[in-house]
Amino acid sequence: MDIKKKLRIGFIHPDLGIGGAERLVVDAAVALQRRGHEVVMFTSRHDPKRCFPETTDGTLTVHVLGSFLPRSLHPRLPLTIVFSILRALVLAFLLLFSLLLPGPPTFMNPLSPIEPFDIFFVDQQSVAIPLLRFVSGTRVVFYCHFPDKLLSGGWEINVDAQGQEGMGIVERKKGSESVGLAKKLYRWPIDKLEEITTGQSDVVLSNSEFTSRVYARAFPSLAKRSPRVVYPCIDVDSYQPSAREGKGKAKLDDGVQLISSARPTIISLNRFEAKKNVGLAIRAFAKLGSDGLVSDARFGELRLVIGGGYDSEELDNKNTLSNLQDLCDELSLTYHTIGKSESSTPPPAAVQVLFILNFSSAQRTHLLTSLNTRCLLYTPANEHFGIVPIEAMSCGLPVLAADSGGPTETVLDLSTHKEGTGILRSPKAEEWAPALASLIDMSENDRNKVAEAAKGRVHDKFSLSKLGADLEQACRDALVLGDLHTQLGDKLIWGGATLMATSAIGLALIIWLSG
């Protein structure tokens, strides 16, 4: 095929909110667009007040399909994954009907007429892949952030240690932590559906070597077809400061004035989810004072800023924020919470912990580039990849991260690398606190060396131009290789069965909803 041919690529992502997966797909779409390809994004949910600016400022074309379907059934019986599957199927059907049926647009074909695509780029939810491939005849590239079955809880994951097959451990927890029979029965068909439909994609990508190893253990039938690693990357230019201290009084807008401070600052940027383990940052910060790792006067000067995506409709988000606030009370730390910048009150001058819900791009850039920011704390253990350390490194910030998962591939530990970019430690407050103290007290000369090494590493391995080139190659490979990666017989059998089942469910659902 013509390797210079412009491709028409449709991105399908469940919820274009604020998070690492969303940042990846937005950057991926922008990177491919910059290489001359036509990109259109499809999603089931897009809140203009809780999204990345590229999806609202005209940079990317975004279509919302199937938003009328709820995301859960009831707080006591949410069935979140079931509704996630249904939303993905509804989106796929509405997109396919828009492709196959002539205009004018109706409830069944809301985008008709729409031109066909060369490639569908799918991530997070794989259930619609057979429909997209076999009904439209379009090749599919699937990006695996992490197997969904392992996000359901009750799994022991340790693939950094060498197991019997040199792959580590991915298995159900035993004993008191085991998952009940009812949940196992509930999850079994869902997990098998994920494995089968993921295998229907033409090319599978993953965000790290760690995720690839987990993928092979989680999906035994797909183990021989190892995902190709394409690291999430960033647009380095978007992490440049809008106002740097000491260089004149630039206008601090978009909520920056609310969070700006001359105090030495430690930052932690993550979604407000329990699995992100942000409490570790608070405990390590408190130990700086309680364990005498810094003087009382010095501790009084420091502040910890915790920011990230927050959805008031997500129970996990609400509970996580409440638990973090309770932890501050338990450790006798003062805190202040900032929501929407236009309605928030400025924090007290001496507040020790500042929570920022759904920070703006300007606020994020300010925190990462401020001369007063000392380091970034990245708390999740066994994180699939972790884009935030890359963002911090691009701004020259040293990173303290858990010594497992994706950060072990991105952060170079200062104790073992001459050109180190941070510190990797077991996610325990007693280990993090001394490491944090060393980063706070780092000399200016050492800090400059870390900054230079970190920026160079991001430029070489995690730039947006590299992401675009890697993804373009994956798309072209999908067109050329097609289903040569798997046995044709298996593909037809499983694909046909899955196609019929998902078609029946999705079509019945649409007919019912349309009255």
Q: What is the DSSP string of 351-374?
A: -SEEEEES--HHHHHHHHH-TTEE
The residue type found at 177 is E
Residue 219 tokens, joined: 């999906």
Task: Please name the residues in contact with 121: beta carbons below 8 A apart, sequence gap of 6 or more.
Answer: 9, 10, 11, 12, 25, 28, 29, 140, 141, 143, 471, 475
Q: Is 238 exposed, middle or buried (0-12, 13-18, 19+ CB in 10 A)?
A: middle
3-state secondary structure 22-45: HHHHHHHHHHHHHCCCEEEEEECE
Question: How far is CA 133 from each of CA 149, 325, 359, 385, 470, rounded to the nearest angstrom?
Answer: 23, 47, 38, 28, 22
Which residues are paired to 43 by β-bridges? 64
User: Structure tokens of 406?
Assistant: 């994706």
Residue type at position 222: L
3-state DSSP call for residue 331? coil
pLDDT of residue 24: 92
Nearby residues of 149 by Cβ (< 8 Å), 6 or more positions away: 155, 187, 190, 191, 194, 195, 218
Beta strands in 264-324 (DSSP E): 265-269, 303-308
**Which one, of 426, 479, 467, 496, lies nearest residue 32 by Cα?**
467
DSSP for 376-406, please give it: EEE--TT-S--SHHHHHHHTT--EEEESSST
Q: Is the dihedral of CA 123, 125, 126, 127 positive or negative?
A: negative
Please give the backbone phi and psi of residue 243, each rounded to the nearest 5 degrees, phi first.
Answer: -155, 110
What residues have CB less than 8 Å from 247, skipping those under 6 apart?
Answer: none
> pTM of the prediction?
0.78
User: In whole angstroms, what is the distance from residue 204 CA to residue 463 CA?
Assistant: 21
pLDDT at 489: 43
Element (H, E) at 178: none
Question: Please, what's the b/e burial string for 277-297 (b: 16 or more CB within 10 A of its CB; e: otherwise)?
Answer: bbbbbbbbbbbbbeeebbeee
Pairing of strands 38-43, 61-64: parallel
Would you state the structure tokens that stand for residue 182, as one six-digit string?
């009812």
DSSP conformation class of 238: G
CB atoms within 10 A of CB 352: 22
- Please give the backbone phi and psi of residue 28, each rounded to the nearest 5 degrees, phi first: -65, -45
Q: What is the pLDDT of residue 509?
A: 58
From first to last of the 515 residues of the chain, give the pLDDT tens digit: 566 789 999 999 999 998 888 999 999 999 999 999 999 999 999 999 889 999 999 999 999 999 999 988 888 888 889 999 999 999 999 999 999 999 899 999 999 999 999 999 999 999 999 999 999 999 999 999 999 988 877 777 777 644 444 456 677 676 545 567 787 888 899 999 999 999 999 999 999 999 999 999 899 999 988 899 999 998 888 776 643 444 434 445 668 999 999 999 999 999 999 999 999 999 999 999 999 999 999 999 999 999 999 988 889 999 999 999 999 999 999 999 998 655 678 899 999 999 999 988 889 999 999 999 999 999 999 888 999 999 999 999 999 999 998 999 999 999 999 999 999 999 999 999 999 999 999 999 999 999 999 999 999 999 999 999 999 999 999 998 764 544 444 455 455 555 555 555 655 555 555 55
**Cα–Cα distance, 510 to 503 (Å, whole number):** 10
> Could you tell me what percentage of the chain is helix, strand and coil, using 3-state DSSP and rounding each to the nearest 5?
45, 15, 40
Dist. CA 320–CA 310, nearest whole Å: 10
Q: Write down how long the chain is.
A: 515
Distance CA 238, CA 389 (A): 15
